[in-house]
Structure 1
Amino acid sequence: MNNNTIIIFLFSKVSAQKQNRIYLSGEWQFSLDSTAIGIKNRGYLKNFSETVILPGTTDENKKGNKNTIFTTAHLSRIYTYSGAAWYQKEINIPESFSDKHVTLFLERTKETNVWIDSLFIGSSRNILTPQIFQLPSKLKLGKHTLTIMVNNDQQAFPQETKGSHA
């Protein structure tokens, strides 16, 4: 990494702030999308009424359906959910990031789609390695809305990981 690189960490719990990093842990706006119509309905432009704390799971944030079936055959969640979930946070691109390469680093997540304001940044199906997105160089300094749609539906998993606890 050189002096022209800025990394925005989404799910990292690192406490020490570095000048070339922004940590986005904390409260995020949130919405479930079990019918998977959010992209079609431009969910990245909506304001979400619920909140969650990241890093964290939908289960830890008590989002989804209360589980009534527990087993000793595998891990059992208290709250279950399968499908798309939307996460949104206002971020500030400071003046110190001017003329820098800005990268969004997503750690330990499922399939994602990422937007800055209404601009689609990209998608990733990597679930075993970090997801890294290059933010556009034309991104203006100041406040922006970062929206991430995470899909944990079984159809979204690569075939090699189906049935695993990954």
Structure 2
Amino acid sequence: MTGRTLILILLFAAVLAGGSMYYLQVYAFYDEVPADNAQISLTPLGSDTPEPIEISNFEGIDSESSPIRYRACFRTELPLEEAVDTYKLYDDASPRVAPGWFGCFDAPGIGQMIEDGRADVFLGERNFEYGIDRVVAITAEGFGYVWHEINDCGETAYDGTPLGEDCPPPPER
């Protein structure tokens, strides 16, 4: 009887630990970004100062546990052709997978639209947080998606490599 009891206790503990880890990774650290505080900005050509664009139907999530957990979806009336002529494009951006429950952000689908040329990725704000750029993808249909990318300065700062001359000094800890 004690062997069965011990096995049941171990199984219960394993299921509880597994369920807790799943919940913590997928749900616990994310907070909804209120739509009334939402502002999406793009950096114009010839400038380093982002400018807000008109948006609607904003949905966003963020987490204080990591600077790259931010994801957002929105609609815009800004034509893609006008955006390409006005704002800085961002090369080699790849959308990060969002939790399954955040249904508007389909990273593989967004990536495919970028690859097919149905969407372009723009610089939202460089060094939004040190070493992290906010990027914005806009589709020809007026859908927009936002996520954070680790830039070159961030990669070198986080892996301990000496910073290049074009990187600003990291913030004091």
Do they fold alike, i.e. is TM over 0.5? Answer: no
Report the TM-score, using the length of structure 1 for normalisation. Answer: 0.31
> Which has more radius of gyration?
2
The higher-RCO structure (CA 8 Å, 6+ apart) is 1
User: Would you tell me which structure has more helix in proportion to its own residues?
Assistant: 2
User: Would you tell me which structure has more strand in proportion to its own residues?
Assistant: 1
